[in-house]
Structure 1
Amino acid sequence: MTEMTKASPPTTDTAHDEVRPANALHRDELTSSVVSTPIGPLLVATTERGVVRVAFATEGVEPVVTELVDRLRPDLLIADDEAKHEAVDHLAIAEAQLREYFAGRLQAFTVPIDDALSSGFYLEVRQALRQVPFGTTTTYTALAERLGRPKAVRAVGTGCSGNPIPVIVPCHRVTRADGSLGGYRGGAPAKAILQALEADALR
């Protein structure tokens, strides 16, 4: 488990995200660890509010940690014991639930989620992803229609590909209208493995 250090002011990730006040992304505590999974090691980072980031090995631990520190501005010097304990507790729950999920014994993650890295329409997309049932798939087009923005298919795709909490927020359950996998932050093979894992668990 790795604790991150005091950080600098945040930035916004896309033109679709809302610009927030300078202190809006501040988190007192940020904790992380690496979990071994069938799709490779996953970096899991939590704050006192919940899971804030899940990253694939291809993204690199150091770049992700640097991004989080820059955007969330954790300040361990002023973090109180309650915030620290909450962040550590959320991390332990996330680790345990990921292991249960990959073992085929967990269908719904209940660990709290910190949406600090999402805003605007992308936040709506990522919240809608949580409603896609285990073992099923939907399409970018259907998701856009569900959000009342049928012409925003491309933005939905970007919201999925930029999802900061993959696996737990299941963007791997979204495919193209023609049935092909579509893009995925962890790569197409990882997306296929996750879909197959869920299908197998339901058999």
Structure 2
Amino acid sequence: MRWTVLDSPIGEFSVATDGDSVCGTHFGRVESGLDEPDHELSRQAVDELRAYFAGELTGFTVPLSIPRGSDFERAVWREMTRIPYGQTLTYGEVARRVGDPGAARAVGVACNRNPVPVIVPCHRIVGAGAKLVGFGGGLDRKRYLLELEARVDFERALLG
């Protein structure tokens, strides 16, 4: 696994590739297995992340592989990828969508275990009443990501 670190508006952000796909992201610098983005996939991932943070990209195309997670976690992560850019769902709504309406807290645990935050957008899941609760990267980062997407989505709507 190769890790590449990029500077972003939310601080250093690390992305891991396994040669064929992106298999992890991390808020902050990961020192183990650190590499320059000289591999084509690493460059693509870094370019897409930079474009996302610049408000120029609303959907990632890098191939993903998530080698771990329970069936429930994988269902939650899949559902996260279905949340449109600039929109949010509550933990309870995600629980209902994955077929376990009483599992809002378990959705929160799955969000916390998301191995590919930002690309798999766990920041788009909020508490009841759109309250900002829980985020492995910190609530300031979650707020930034949601505000970025809302601003870009609004600007796109204005331009038609």
Normalized against structure 1, the TM-score is what?
Answer: 0.70
Partner of 1:148: 99
Aligned residue for 1:115, secondary structure, equals coil
Percent same amino acid among aligned pairs? 41
Partner of 1:48: 19
Matches within 5 A, 1:101-180: 101-180=52-131
Does the 8 Å contact 1:52/1:117 carry over to 2? Answer: no
Aligned residue for 1:43, secondary structure, equals strand
Q: Output one character per residue of 1:113-158: Cα deviation in whole Å (capped at 9) or x when no partner.
A: 0111333211111111000000001000000000111011111110
C-alpha RMSD of matched pairs (Å): 1.6
Aligned residue for 1:32, secondary structure, equals strand
Stretches of structure 1 that go unaligned for 5 or more consecutive residues are: 1-29, 67-86
Q: Does 1:185 align with 2:136?
A: yes
Aligned residue for 1:178, secondary structure, equals helix
Separation (CA, whole Å) in 1 of partners of 2:2 and 2:30: 13
Does the 8 Å contact 2:14/2:27 carry over to 1? Answer: yes
Separation (CA, whole Å) in 1 of partners of 2:147 and 2:14: 22
Q: Does 1:195 align with 2:142?
A: no
Separation (CA, whole Å) in 1 of partners of 2:3 and 2:93: 34
Stretches of structure 2 that go unaligned for 5 or more consecutive residues are: 156-160
Separation (CA, whole Å) in 2 of partners of 1:96 and 1:46: 14
Q: Output one character per residue of 1:63-121: Cα deviation in whole Å (capped at 9) or x when no partner.
A: xx48xxxxxxxxxxxxxxxxxxxx93221111000011011110000100011133321
Q: Deviation at 1:179?
A: 1.7
Amino acid across the alignment from 1:61? V
Partner of 2:158: none
Aligned residue for 1:53, secondary structure, equals strand
Q: Deviation at 1:161?
A: 1.4
Q: Indicate the structure (1 or 2) with the bigger Cα radius of gyration.
A: 1
Q: Does 1:61 align with 2:30?
A: yes
Aligned length: 150
Does the 8 Å contact 2:13/2:26 carry over to 1? Answer: yes
Q: Deviation at 1:61?
A: 1.8
